[in-house]
Structures are given as structure tokens and as C-alpha cells.
Amino acid sequence: IWFSGVPAWSEFDWVGRDLLIGSARLHVTRRTSRCPATEVNPETGERDADPVAELKAAYGHADLGIHAEVIEAGNIALGDAIGVLEHGQD
């Protein structure tokens, strides 16, 4: 799910929490690391770049987003707000 309107990487604070989006409930399980394929030159197939190291140097991490598991199925629509539940909140 692509979302906007929150500070960059604030979703990292959601790990271990539940999200309410539309009528669905998701549990955020972990951060998403970058794929090693980003190191491969598409023209040569050689690993000749290290964007992960560059991202770590510039931002202190190289993560891309978060992983979440659906714990209550529901409908999600464009424009739905994301509710972040505090630990233990229902």
C-alpha cells in the first residue's frame, strides 16, 4: 500500500502495532530491507553498484517500508485514512 501525508520513514515506528485501513486490520511485523538486485547493472548483469551502502551513509538505514499481515480482512479504498493503534489498544 502506498501512502502519503506522514513524515518519511515514520512507518518504522509502527512495527509491532496494528493498523486500521478502511475496514481491514493489519499487524506490522517488520521493516522491509532492500533487494540485492539493486546492486546489479541491468546492461551487464555485473554487481557494480552499492546503493544500500550509499543509503545507509546518507540516511542511517537502507530500508524501504514495512511488512504487515492481514489479521481482519476488509475493504481498503483510495483515500482511506490509516489508523495506528497503540500497543494493546483495540
At 30-66, the pLDDT tens digits run 999 888 888 899 999 999 989 889 989 999 999 989 9
CA separation (Å) from 61 to 12, 21, 25, 31, 44? 11, 27, 27, 11, 27
Where does the chain show beta strands of DSSP type E? Answer: 18-21, 24-32, 65-72, 82-84
Mean per-residue pLDDT of the chain? 91
- Contact criterion met (CB below 8 Å) for 19 and 80: no
Mean pLDDT, range 18-28, rounded to an integer: 97
Give percent of the chain above pLDDT 90: 64
What is the predicted pLDDT for the residue at 1?
A: 87
